[in-house]
C-alpha cells in the first residue's frame, strides 16, 4: 500500500513535468511569447483585439464565479451586466423567500408529550391492563408557515 502511494505521487509529478514540454508544440500557449504585430491597414484596433482573443483565457474567465464574466472579456458589457443583474435578482429572491418563511411551533396536544432523540412524540394510551398502560407514540412535526410573499 505504501509503495503504491509513493508510485502514484512520483507518476503524477513526472506526468505534470513532462506534460509541460509536450503541450507547447501541440498548440498550448504557455507564456505566449509572440512578437507584437502592427495593426493591418483598414482594420480598427477593436477588430484586431477581437481577432486575437484566446479561447483558453475566455474559458478561464468562465471559471470565475461572476456571472457574465465571459461577456465582459468579449467586450459585450451590456450582456455581462444583464447576467450580473439576473443573478443578483435570483439571489435576492432566494434571500427574501428565506426571510419570509417562518418556523412554526409544535401543534397542541391533549396527551402527554415526550422527547426522544430530539423528536417530540405524544403518548396516546391504547390499552390499560391493571396498572400497566401501553401507549402509541405519535410523532409531532413542526408546522412551518410560508408566507405568499405579498400575493
Give the pLDDT mean for 3-15. 87
d(CA 151, CA 85): 24
State the chain's mean pLDDT as an integer: 78
* C-alpha cell of residue 151: 400575493
Measure CA 63 to chain center. 12
Phi, psi of 19 (to 5 degrees): -65, -25
Give the pLDDT mean for 76-99. 91
pLDDT over 90 (residue 110): no
**How many other C-beta atoms lie within 10 A of the C-beta of residue 67?**
19
Of residues 91 and 141, more confidence is placed in 91
Note whether 60 and 71 are within 8 A (CB): no
d(CA 113, CA 107): 11
Give the pLDDT mean for 62-76. 83
Note whether 61 and 70 are within 8 A (CB): yes
d(CA 80, CA 57): 16
Q: What percent of the chain has pLDDT over 70?
A: 79
pLDDT over 70 (residue 130): yes
Spatial CA neighbour of 54 closest among 31, 22, 76: 31
Confidence of residue 81 (pLDDT cuts 50, 70, 90): very high
Amino acid at each position: 500500500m505504501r509503495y503504491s502511494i509513493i508510485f502514484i505521487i512520483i507518476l503524477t509529478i513526472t506526468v505534470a513535468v513532462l506534460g509541460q514540454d509536450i503541450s507547447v508544440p501541440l498548440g498550448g500557449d504557455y507564456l505566449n511569447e509572440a512578437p507584437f504585430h502592427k495593426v493591418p491597414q483598414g482594420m480598427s484596433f477593436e477588430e484586431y483585439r477581437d481577432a486575437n482573443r484566446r479561447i483558453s483565457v475566455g474559458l478561464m474567465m468562465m471559471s470565475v464565479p461572476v456571472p457574465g464574466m465571459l461577456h465582459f472579456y468579449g467586450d459585450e458589457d451590456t450582456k455581462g451586466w444583464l447576467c450580473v443583474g439576473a443573478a443578483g435578482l435570483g439571489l435576492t429572491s432566494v434571500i427574501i423567500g428565506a426571510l419570509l418563511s417562518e418556523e412554526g411551533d409544535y401543534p397542541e396536544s391533549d396527551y402527554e408529550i415526550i422527547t426522544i432523540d430530539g423528536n417530540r412524540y405524544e403518548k396516546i394510551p391504547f390499552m390499560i391492563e391493571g396498572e400497566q398502560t401501553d401507549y402509541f407514540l405519535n410523532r409531532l412535526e413542526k408546522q412551518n408557515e410560508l408566507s405568499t410573499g405579498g400575493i
